[in-house]
Structure 1
Amino acid sequence: MTAETVPLQPLLHDLQVTLRAPSQVWCSPDGQVHPRGLHGVYHADVRVLSEAVVRVDGALPEAVAAGGTGPGTFEASAVLRSIDGPGADPTTLLRRRRTVAPGQVSEELEVSCGTEAPVSGRLTVHVASDLTRTETVKQGLPTTPVAPQATGDGVRWSDDGADVVVTAPGAQVTIDDAGATLAWDLQAAPGSPVTVGWSVRSQVAAVVHAPAAPDPEWAVPAVEADDRRLAALVTRSLADLGGLRMSADFAPDETFLAAGAPWFFTLFGRDSIWAARLLLPLGTDLARGTLRTLAARQGTKDDPATAEQPGKILHEVRSQELKGEGGMSLPPLYYGTVDATSLWVCLLHDAWRWGMARDDVEALLPALDKALTWMRDHGDADGDGFLDYADATGHGLSNQGWKDSGDSIQWKDGRLAEGPIALSEVQAYAHEAALGGADLLDALGRPGSQEWRDWAAALKARFRQKFWLHDDDGPYVAIALDRHGAAVDSVASNMGHLLGTGILDPDEERAVARRLVSDDMSSGYGLRTLSTTSQGYWPLGYHRGTVWTHDTAIAVVGLAKAGLGAEAGVLARGLLEAAPHFAYQLPELYGGNAVGDGPGPLPYPAACHPQAWSAASAVAILTAALGLDPQPDGGLAATPPTPSAIGALRVDGLRVGGRSFRVQASPEGAAEVTASA
């Protein structure tokens, strides 16, 4: 196989996306959907259109401005010099307005002019479909257009799993081998623009679909801050999250957040849990939907083929088998995750603290019992006292924590760790879950809490003995233990997830904080996944040097909870420094290059955007900056860490249960909390 024929994953850092789950459109910055790479209209996990290119009199419009105009909308403006009047000024304009809704994409094409005489031309839209699965597109494999069928006012494509109908009122429709051309002969006069339109409706057999409720499950707060980047980040992030709302066919009345577009546009246990958890200060409805959806497919049996075990929370849901590089093959319902079960318990506990109704919490207690039991009876495969993982099939995920790439767990010298692997943050999640579960059992009058407190205490003691290391820069927590029980010595961001979980004492938290904000870990745009001192470090290495938005945000919240305001501020400011470089849509991950090393953070070319836990990180910054803490009486306490990372801050619309609050914090750390009427 030559270099020219090797399939390559398409890049997407410079593409525009417009979405309303489970539909999405990926196009070039000028709005054109070209027949290449990721470009296309997608519904669920099928590319329903692989091309939608506009021409006027055979010429491509010349874009002058383009971008999103609101949730699910996009507009591109282009000049039409092929039919323009004389002179240097552009006097004929095409405005392409796109609207995305679940299962439907519509476009209005408006031609206007400022010429002395009317202008005329033939406007065409060439559309094509390959009915290709998203995963095929991701692998960069070649695809072939499917021949369309003519309808009364458009064309249609269909196969066993998808039905796609394009309508174009008033258009002349010509079918060719590569698709169809929709054509209108237009004349626009000064002051009298002319508009035509077309749309595509799609139906795809899928496990996940759009939720029925049109409004999001969270409050949208009003944010005022001395650092104006924060309000802009929150606004953009919450709008993006609205487009990721989904439901599953096995829990159709519940809503969760899809992990991210385009590759992970479905339910992921870990990702959906973290996104809901970070959004808790805006309401508990999303957390309730996420918890219920995942409980509906909680494991009931031992099945090595799917990695299912009794009580285990799933990793991901797809409509068909997922095939990837290196022989990877995952079943449609896959449980290969070591952390989602503990994180499910943590979300339930935190949602209860943030005011989720007692009846809703009680209804989930059977799932809580099963999840806790999984941690004790199934989470430790090799019997060493730590939760670990190892793929038993040979074609599942080799790494099953959030850093799930094949080379993510490695020694300082670049050697890969051998499994079973016990990750440091997984022990912290389990410790926090056991204590949180015990609190829930006590609060709801159920027995068994002391067992879980004792279990957590024993885990904490074992952790302190095995996971701590020292180097020339001082103490730090190993990323993992390998199959031999040896502490893998890379300095990595995983230790940031330990903060605030209770598995560290205050001195240990301070030691971790020092390492997180050191120059080898903090890029100035956030927290690197791997220290620059490691042999395997690379600023664009997926889990070995890049900055992951949510990873940094989790560390920020933990640092603030630990009272380490200065260190929390360093990392929070890093995210705010990065945000404008991505038009305030912080992607899944980006380069670990330092501030000053180039014009900004390097885009990771295949990073998903929007990504649920990345967008939810904007609310995590609010939580940390205000030191938010829900109270047992339904109130809200605020203890902002000092020094302040963003100056004065006022947030109106925070929620605890059914109550709304306004919190105002001064740069010096004084806070005033007011319950809204």
Structure 2
Amino acid sequence: MPQPFLHELVSCVHAPAVALSDRDGQIRPGGVQGVLLNDRRALSTLLVDVNGVEPTPVGHALHDAGTARFVGVARDLGDPGADSTVRVERERRAVPDGIEEDLTLVNAARTAVECTVRVRAGSDLAAMDDVRRGGRPGLAPLTAAGSGTCAWAGEDVRVTLLAADGDSADSGPGAGAGERTPVTYETDAEGHAVFAWRVRLPARTRWSTTLRLTVERVASAAGSADTVTATSAFLPAADGPGWSEVEVSGPAELVRLVDRSVEDLAALALADPMAPDDVFLAAGSPWFFTLFGRDSLWAARLTLPLGTDLARGTLHTLARRQGTRFDPDTAEAPGKILHEVRQDTLAVGGPGGLPPLYFGTIDATALWISLLHDAWRWGMPAAEVAELLDPLEAALGWLTGEADADGDGFLEYIDESGHGLANQGWKDSNDSIQFPDGTIADPSIALSEAQAYAHEAAIGGAALLEAFGRPGADRLRDWAEAMRERFRTTFWVSDRRGSFPAIALDGAKRPVGTATSNLGHLLGTGLLNPEESARVAARMAESDLDSGYGLRTMSADAAGFNPLGYHSGSVWPHDTAIGMLGLSRAGHHRVAASLAFGLLRTAPDFAYRLPELFAGTDAHAGDAVLAYPASCRPQAWSAAASVVMLTAALGLEPDVPGGTLRVAPAADFAEWWPLRVSGLRVAGHPLTVAVDATGRVEVQTSAPVKVETRNV
């Protein structure tokens, strides 16, 4: 069966739990709706009715990342006439081990109402992998039941739902008191648990009850639930990512996007069970409440202006699982940073599936090195950096050795297991690397951005080794320069719109000459000289790539272009943000601002919760913003795109080891001025930056750095 759609669902998130429902608050069987936790669907049905009739929905709102309020009306109750006088309100809160939900009946009528309120609940205990593939298992049997409780149990999980007695309270001046209503319990013919309350509600009063769903891990036949290993379930992060409260004063849409994004990022925070003080960001909801090398690294890197604690936790969590041996089945190699952690094997369409600890990624190791380097420049304490120097040297060893499998001087990948990922860059779908005529490139694949990441990592790694008194810096710089020259003579191609680096070299070392968003990942890495960067920036600004809503993953000119293709024409907010950041670092602020304005234009269409990806429709032609229906939301690196908008607009360039912080906003972002951002951090100290309507800059910080500002 096809993967279920997500775009119409309301999502309440508090990692590792998520509740997904229709917009009326009802959790209906089928699709992905339910409460999901630890790679299992704990609750698959939660339906409310009044006198056997579901409330008519009138609205819903997401209060924060984990809390939603749903309002409906009971049209058959209350005063006669067109006005609805009996409301049914639900407030759902995701918590790390399940959900809490308040169910309230509000009688605004002039007379009392009597009714029966029912809640019907069921669980299929489906594995996340089955849910994602569209499976529809039957209900799990109830293992315990009573007047206010029921439970379901699987091999490694126990799910308990508690329903409280109901209480009435005054709803207005002079209203009479209601009555306490005990909850009753029964099961229906399909095996659902059914809680019911017989409610008598006087005029102008309200009645309420509370539901609490708890999910507990239990010991399985395979061993103790308390045994901690590299693939153990990750923990809720007790204090989130450790950021200050971010406050933005500026365009209303930018303010709302940043507010929602920072809430979502905090809701995705998880902790390493091997060291619970180390926090990282899960990749996204609902499928990826786990550690992803690439995703977690990019999310931490893009949010460095909020502080370095998240970077430290991400770096340590990955370093504990760094490769130590050669294993073709898992793609592990000494020094390599992993791709993904799961508790069980993950099916990917072929036999075998991905092992729980999987290393099939060409870029995570370089990104780990660059995160460490960038965190150091943002002020990560020297003692914390020093703790990671041994993993750094191991990562650099893999990068400049085993990453080049055939010795041609480029990083390439090929799946040697027969059941791993065919593509091991961020565009990891089977059809993501295409020639302009739509032909799929054959492996092995040498991605353009993998070379850029490697070059940047070698230069950054050299700076770290040199600063901390370790050998090897000159060798790394020579390696990076040789990479730069090879890339210049091998990757460049052209089409009718201009010249640019190919997305990849195929197995025959032919450039795959399709223009793609990967171009943005090359900028600011040092791989390109200024003239080459200008050509890339110009190519990115062409309308086949810049949709007006963000950067398309593939040129609209390509034969394989599809605006709803996963990596063949859609827009990924994080991808656009990386391009935006690279453009800013390379000095191409006009193109960076165009991408930022276009991406912000889409935010209201997604209630300011940017999805994993959306359709690459044409804003220039007046096309509407369209959802990619199976897109995850919230997604960590998509939410982090809002922080990149601030970084680019303010022109933030830290060098704490060098004792400076440069703040140089570009006039191309002037439509966002005046702009003030507080809650940023540099070297562990608060940072506030303001740009007035004329481009004058004001910076407030107690950090031990010299602030260099440039007024526009």
TM-score by length of 2: 0.92
Q: State the AA in 2 paired with 1:496.
A: G
**Which residue number corresponds to residue 50 of structure 2?**
56
Alignment-mate amino acid for residue 48 of structure 2: V
Take 1:173 and 1:646, find their aligned partners in 2: how far apart are those partners?
59
1:388-407 to 2 correspondences below 5 Å:
388-407=412-431
- 2:78 and 2:129 map into 1 onto residues whose CA distance is 43
Indicate the residue corresponding to 2:124 in structure 1.
130
Task: Work out the CA distance in 2 between the residues paired with 1:108 and 1:574.
Answer: 39
User: Does the Cα contact within 8 Å between 1:254 and 1:290 map onto a contact in 2?
Assistant: yes
1:223 corresponds to: 248
1:606-639 CA-to-partner distances (Å, cap 9, x unmatched) read 0000000000110011001111011335552211
Q: Match for residue 498 of structure 1? A: 522
User: Residue type matched to 1:142 in 2?
Assistant: R
* CA distance in structure 2 between the aligned counterparts of 1:242 and 1:251, rounded to whole angstroms: 19
Q: 8 Å contact 1:61–1:78 — kept in the other structure?
A: yes
1:328 and 1:539, CA in 2 relative to 1: closer, same or farther beyond 3 A? Answer: farther
Aligned partners of 1:635, 1:46: CA distance in 2, in Å? Answer: 48
Which whole-Å CA distance do the structure 2 matches of 1:216 and 1:482 have between them? 40
1:426 aligns with 2:438: no
Give the distance between the partners of 2:409 and 2:692, measured in 1 at CA: 46
Q: 5 Å matches for 1:127-526? A: 127-152=121-146, 153-170=148-165, 171-176=183-188, 177-204=190-217, 207-225=232-250, 227-327=251-351, 329-526=353-550
The CA deviation string for residues 418-459 of structure 1, in whole angstroms up to 9 with x for no partner, is 111000000000000000001011111212110111110111
SS in 2 for 1:184: strand
CA distance in 2, matches of 1:187, 1:414: 66
Flag the 1:441–1:232 CA change in 2: closer, same or farther, 3 A: same
1:366–1:646 CA distance, 2 compared to 1 (3 A): farther
Whether the 8 Å contact between 1:581 and 1:600 is mirrored in structure 2 is no
- Structure 1 pair 380–28 and aligned structure 2 pair: CA distance change class (3 A): same
Letter matched to residue 198 of structure 1: L
- Structure 2: which amino acid aligns with 1:182? F
Output the CA distance in 1 between the equivalents of 2:618 and 2:670: 19
Identity of aligned residues (%): 48
- Residue 611 in 1 paired to residue 635 in 2? yes
Displacement of 1:306: 0.6
8 A Cα contact 2:108 2:203, kept in partner: yes
Please state whether the residue corresponding to 2:335 is helix, strand or coil.
coil
The separation in 2 between residues aligned to 1:116 and 1:571, in whole angstroms, is: 55
Deviation at 1:228, TM superposition (A): 2.4
Q: Give the Cα–Cα distance (whole angstroms) in 1 for the partners of residues 563 and 159 of structure 2.
A: 41
Report the CA distance between 1:192 and its aligned residue. 2.1
Return structure 1 stretches of 4+ with deviation > 6 angstroms.
Answer: none
Contact 1:639-1:670 at 8 Å conserved across structures: no
Measure the CA separation in 2 of the matches of 1:336 and 1:76: 42
| Structure 1 position 250, deviation (Å) | 3.0
Q: Which residue of 1 aligns with 2:698?
A: 672
The one-character-per-residue Cα deviations of 1:294-350 (angstroms, maximum 9, x if unpaired) are 000000000111110000001001110001324461001100000000000000000
Distance 2:245 2:446 in 1: 39
Q: Is the Cα contact below 8 Å between 1:66 and 1:77 reproduced in 2?
A: yes
Structure 1 residue 189: Cα displacement: 1.8
Relative to structure 2, which stretch is displaced further, 360-369 or 378-387? 378-387
CA displacement at 1:572 relative to structure 2:
0.7
In structure 2, the partner of 1:109 is: 103
Residue 666 of structure 1, CA deviation? 4.2
Q: Distance in 2 between matches of 1:471 and 1:548?
A: 24
Residues 178-210 of structure 1 show CA distances to partners (whole Å, capped at 9, x for unaligned) of 321111111222232111121110013682333
Q: Secondary structure at the match of 2:565?
A: coil
Q: Which is worse superposed, 516-525 or 144-153?
A: 144-153
Please state how far the C-alpha of 1:221 moved relative to its aligned partner: 2.1
The Cα shift of 1:668 comes to: 5.6
Question: Per the alignment, in what secondary structure is the counterpart of residue 130 of structure 2?
Answer: helix
1:639 aligns with 2:664: yes
Mean alpha-carbon deviation: is it higher for 273-282 or for 374-383?
A: 374-383
What is the Cα deviation at residue 518 of structure 1? 0.5
SS in 2 for 1:116: coil
Corresponding residue for residue 618 of structure 2:
594
Counterparts of 1:503 and 1:458, CA distance in 2: 10
Q: Given that residues 211 and 254 in structure 1 are in contact (C-alpha distance below 8 angstroms), is that contact kept between their aligned partners in structure 2?
A: no
Matched, 1:661 2:711: no
SS in 2 for 1:157: strand
Change (3 A) 1:567 1:598: closer
Consecutive unaligned residues in structure 1, runs of 5 or more: 1-6
Write the letter of the residue equivalent to 2:185: V
Q: Distance in 2 between the 1:667 and 1:24 partners?
A: 42
CA–CA distance in structure 2, aligned partners of residues 647 and 172 of structure 1: 57
Give the stretch that moved more between structures: 145-154 or 346-355.
145-154
Instruction: Mark the CA change 1:219 to 1:634 in structure 2 (over 3 Å): closer, same or farther.
Output: farther
Contact 2:184 2:197 in 1 (8 A): yes
CA distance in structure 1 between the aligned counterparts of 2:202 and 2:702, rounded to whole angstroms: 54
Query: In structure 2, do the counterparts of structure 1 residues 201 and 597 end up closer, same or farther at CA, with 3 Å as the change threshold?
Result: farther
Mark the runs of 5 or more structure 2 residues left unpaired by the alignment: 166-182, 218-224, 226-230, 704-712
Note if contact 1:467-1:477 (Cα within 8 Å) is conserved in structure 2: yes
Which residue in 2 is equivalent to 1:80? 74
The structural deviation recorded for 1:231 is 1.2
Partner of residue 3, structure 1 = none
Partners of 1:215 and 1:410 lie apart in 2 by: 40
Contact 1:30 1:76 in 2 (8 A): yes
Residues 392-440 of structure 1, C-alpha deviations (whole Å, 9 max, x = no match): 0111100000000000001000000011100000000000000000101
SS of residue paired to 2:619: coil
Tell me the residue number matched to 2:599.
Answer: 575
**Counterparts of 2:32 and 2:302 in 1: how far apart (Å)?**
30
Rounded to whole Å, the distance in 1 between the matches of 2:666 and 2:485 is: 29
Contact 2:48 2:117 in 1 (8 A): yes
Per the TM alignment, residue 213 of structure 1 is displaced from its structure 2 partner at its CA by 2.2
The 8 Å contact of residues 240 and 267 in structure 2, kept in 1 or not, is answered as no
Is this contact kept in 2: 1:208–1:246, CA < 8 A? Answer: no
TM-score (norm 1): 0.97
1:590 match: secondary structure: coil
Q: Distance in 2 between matches of 1:348 and 1:409?
A: 29
Cα 1:645/1:482, change in 2 over 3 Å: farther
Alignment correspondent of 1:546? 570
How far apart are residue 61 of structure 1 and its match?
Answer: 0.4
CA positional deviation for 1:216: 3.4
Secondary structure, aligned partner of 1:322: coil
Distance 1:651 1:416 in 2: 45
CA–CA distance in structure 1, aligned partners of residues 510 and 259 of structure 2: 45
